[in-house]
Amino acid sequence: MADTDSLIRPREAVAAQQGTARLWPLLLLRPVMDALAVAVGALIGYQYRFHISGVPIPGGQVPSFQAYAMAVPVVVGLWLVTFVATGRYRLRRGQSYVDEILSSAGSVALFVILALALEGLYRGFPYSRLVLADASIAALILFMIDRAVVRVVQSALLRSGYGAVRVLLVGGGEAAGLLIRRLRMFPEYGYRLVGQVAVPGQPEPSRELNLPSLSMEDGLGRVVERERCQLVVLAGVGPHERLLEMARACLERGAEVKVAPDVLEIMTSAAGSEEVAGIPLLGVRPNRLVGVNVVLKRTFDVVGTLVLALPAVPLVAVCALGIVLTSPGPPFYGQERLGYRGRTFRVWKLRSMVPDAERETGPIMTREDDDRRTPVGRLVRRFSLDELPQLWNVFKGEMSLVGPRPERPFFARQFEQEVPRYRERLDALPGVTGWAQVNDLRQGSGIEERVFYDLYYIENWSLAFDLKILLLTPWRILFHRHAY
């Protein structure tokens, strides 16, 4: 939602900013916390360089603390100016913590370069560059901490409705349903769905989504005014002439307008653009996991598996012992899954259910109230510890650290008949974790949504994307809602 491109955003479209404007105390908290982090980091840098590090001091005399203390306001001001200039204090709804930190890396690098340049130009006092290096490291650590604190406060406020943006959904179909489910799953994004408007000749809104149905008899602009909408999302509204007419009506009332894809299988996120003879053309991105990228990903998997095995092996041993002591049967079990290009393999997991759990029912999905789980099994499934033995599958080359989760053949055959492009998930090695999983899409969510995210991953793969997913995984394990 937060990454969907705006159709039009003229100067008069200001209503969508009203929700953000109410959050000015929270927006002010960011620079205040940053200023504190940089100031404390500068003092830590001084103390570490001259009193802790043990690095010889030129001349043997500790420089004046007062001189460094007087430089702190300058350094703080330089940080704030750099972050304001690079747009780092704008509220980005739906941006993950990892994305926020990674996207701030350029601003931090620019700050360090400017600080070095400023230190080189100033001749009034010989400031130590080692102090600047130590201070930058300390400030960066404190910055990461303060961003985590701000995000907790921000999520709590947005979840409660404070500063929320009122969203009107126009249209129906699969794209609209996906959007509604995602916004409801993550209320901390700060979007409040006020209703859905049906478009003549287009799919009707699904009653299962339980969203108020609004009439457009007096025109869409009147609906926007009456519901005080700040953002209007157009999803499958029909011909582009109608889309532009609706967009214009919303923009005239000061609402921001965004467009969702018409159907699930046509993913705008997978579209790349280029210009031919002055004409912009859109093309669907192919699978990026081919050629040299396969070698890079495999190298990343082997190295990552060796690193992760160090803490994983003793943790698996403790869990296995607990399973043996509390439930009859072996601590591990293997299950047939579909892998790359439809080849089957045996995936290994810690046993979390009673032996022969499907003897009477046949293959079924795990439920939230599933009584087949053992006492230890509830714990290992809650924190996804049962997946750790799959590092062995990764080492063998049957799986990857990151990729679409492997499905059992019984269910895969059903999904392939029901979901467009489902089989394209098999164009990549299955993963221990994936883009769908870190977005809290597991067995409790619809398979269509998982396929949407899996295909996005395949068509936008990069080593940085894999690293981002691995960094997000521990956070999602702690706070997910659909692991059982």
| Residue 443, pLDDT score | 67
Residue 332 neighbours by CB under 8 Å, 6+ apart: 320, 348, 349, 350, 351, 389
Residues 100-107 have a mean pLDDT of 88
Residues of the chain with pLDDT > 90: what percent? 29
pLDDT band at 261 (very low <50, low <70, confident <90, very high): low
The pLDDT tens digits of the residues spanning 161-189 come to 788 888 888 887 676 777 787 787 788 88
CA 361 from chain center: how many Å? Answer: 36
User: Residue 446 pLDDT more than 80?
Assistant: no
Cα 12 from Cα 33, distance rounded (Å): 32
Residue 145 neighbours by CB under 8 Å, 6+ apart: 37
Q: What are phi and psi of 25, to 5 degrees?
A: -65, -35
The pLDDT tens digits of the residues spanning 193-223 come to 888 888 877 666 656 567 788 888 888 888 9
pLDDT band at 286 (very low <50, low <70, confident <90, very high): low
Which residue is it, tokens 């699904």?
206
Residues 227-243 have a mean pLDDT of 83
pTM of the model: 0.66
Cα 318 from Cα 323, distance rounded (Å): 9
Please report which helix (H) or strand (E) contains residue 47, including its range: helix 24-47
76, amino acid identity: V
Q: Which domains does the chain have, with CATH numbers?
A: 6-17+163-263 (3.40.50.720), 23-159 (no CATH), 292-479 (no CATH)
Residue 395 neighbours by CB under 8 Å, 6+ apart: 302, 305
Q: Please, are residues 438 and 472 in contact by the beta-carbon 8 Å criterion?
A: yes
Q: How big is the chain by its Cα radius of gyration, in Å? A: 26
Average pLDDT, the chain: 82
Q: Please, are residues 309 and 399 in contact by the beta-carbon 8 Å criterion?
A: no
User: Higher-confidence residue: 204 or 47?
Assistant: 47
User: Higher-confidence residue: 142 or 363?
Assistant: 142
Q: Please, are residues 406 and 337 in contact by the beta-carbon 8 Å criterion?
A: yes
Cα 167 from Cα 227, distance rounded (Å): 9
Q: Calculate the alpha carbon distances from 476 to 83, 229, 338, 392, 400 in Å.
A: 28, 31, 25, 22, 19
